[in-house]
Amino acid sequence: MTELLVPHPRFITLEGGEGAGKSTALAAVREALQSSGYEVVRTREPGGTPLAEKIRGLLLENRPSAGGSEALVPETELLLMFAARAQHVREVIRPALQRGAYVVCDRFTDSSYAYQGAGRGLDQSWIEDLERRAVGLRPGLTLLLDLDVRQGRARTRGRDLWPDRIESEQDDFFERVRECFRLRAAADPGRFRLIDATRPAAVVASEVGAVVSEWLRHAG
Ligand SMILES: Nc1ncnc2c1ncn2[C@@H]1O[C@H](COP(=O)(O)OP(=O)(O)O)[C@@H](O)[C@H]1O
Ligand SMILES: [Mg+2]
């Protein structure tokens, strides 16, 4: 049976390209929520459960699997992303929401539209179907950290001595990813907040905190 896509006000996601500052912003989101007294569960995708983290390993491993030159094809990449997500939603996200916690997740389904859809060229309606059937849940609030692709790369250069499989893509791939994120944000202003991530980290963090406080005034 097809599940409905229900946006949950206590489910907050961070999206954006490599080096946009998602992990940095996540700390600001958590701080804003905790200072209001809420329990916060922080998690990430792909991953978030022991099994889903194993799938993450398969997805990001930057060499053909042992024993051959077999590369991960786009269709497998998409299905593994959703396999991990189905597990994550049922084992971690929904239980936390049900007991009244806030859940803050570094990447979620929007990243599949951007990377496997716009980036790899897979059909959007297939992703929509997987989102409805395998996930059935949407964040109430999504912070999109928007940054020039080259600027993002420059930020991660120090971190990524060994870039993962997806980070090793070319700039045109990441341009498609960025454009898809921006289009999704423009199409759903009720859920998305577009954050200009070119500014210094402290400025971004304070805007992120303000966005979350504003969200709490309405949804909390
Ligand atoms: N606004 C910012 N300005 C400059 N550098 C930043 C900013 N935000 C994060 N960084 C730095 O850029 C790198 C990538 O940030 P990170 O939060 O890990 O990005 P992401 O999780 O989106 O890949 C880190 O070294 C971080 O300290
Ligand atoms: Mg990160």
- Find the ligand nearest to 27 CA: 1
Mean of all residue pLDDT scores within the chain? 94
Task: Name the 3-class secondary structure at 160.
Answer: coil
Residues 99-107 have a mean pLDDT of 98
Residue 156 lies inside a defined structural domain of this protein:
yes
Report d(CA 18, CA 114) in Å as an integer: 12
Task: Evaluate: CB of 201 within 6 angstroms of ligand 1.
Answer: yes
How much is the pLDDT for 157? 84
The dihedrals phi and psi of 219, each to the nearest 5 degrees, come to -100, -25
> Ligand 1: which residue has its CA nearest to atom 6?
201
In a domain, 161, yes or no: yes
What local confidence, expressed as pLDDT, does residue 44 receive?
98
E strands along 83-124, which residues? Answer: 102-106
**Tens-digit pLDDT profile for residues 2-54:** 567 889 999 999 999 999 999 999 999 999 999 999 999 999 999 999 999 99
1 part of a folded domain? no
* 151 pLDDT above the threshold of 90: yes
Q: For a pocket test of ligand 1, which of 23, 24, 147, 167 has the largest count of ligand atoms closer than 8 A to its C-beta?
A: 24
Is the pLDDT assigned to residue 66 strictly greater than 60? no
Q: Are strands 192-196 and 137-146 parallel, antiparallel or unpaired?
A: parallel
Residue 138: partners with Cβ closer than 8 Å, 6 or more residues away: 5, 6, 7, 8, 11, 109, 191
The predicted model scores a pTM of: 0.95
Quick: pLDDT tens for 191-219.
Answer: 999 999 999 999 999 999 999 999 999 87
Query: Which domain covers residue 153, as residue numbers?
Result: 6-219
- Give the distance (Å) from ligand 2 centre to CA of residue 135: 22
Three-state DSSP at 182 gives helix
Does a structural domain hold residue 33? yes
Q: For ligand 1, say whether the CB of 22 is within 6 Å of any of its atoms.
A: yes
Whether 176 is covered by a domain: the verdict is yes
Give a yes or no: residue 53 inside a domain.
yes
Which position has the higher pLDDT, 39 or 160? Answer: 39
Total of domains in the chain: 1
Ligand 1 contact, 20 CB (< 6 A): yes
Please tell me the predicted confidence (pLDDT) of residue 63: 73
For the stretch 181-194, pLDDT in tens is 999 999 999 999 99
Q: What percent of the chain has pLDDT over 90?
A: 85
What are the tokens at 172?
């045109």
Q: For residue 71, what is the domain's CATH number? A: 3.40.50.300
Q: Is the pLDDT assigned to residue 67 strictly greater than 70?
A: no
Indicate the angle between helix axes 50-60 and 74-88, nearest 10 degrees.
160
The answer to whether residue 161 scores a pLDDT higher than 90 is: no
- The rounded percent of the chain whose pLDDT value lies above 70 is 95
Confidence at residue 138, expressed as pLDDT on a 0 to 100 scale: 98
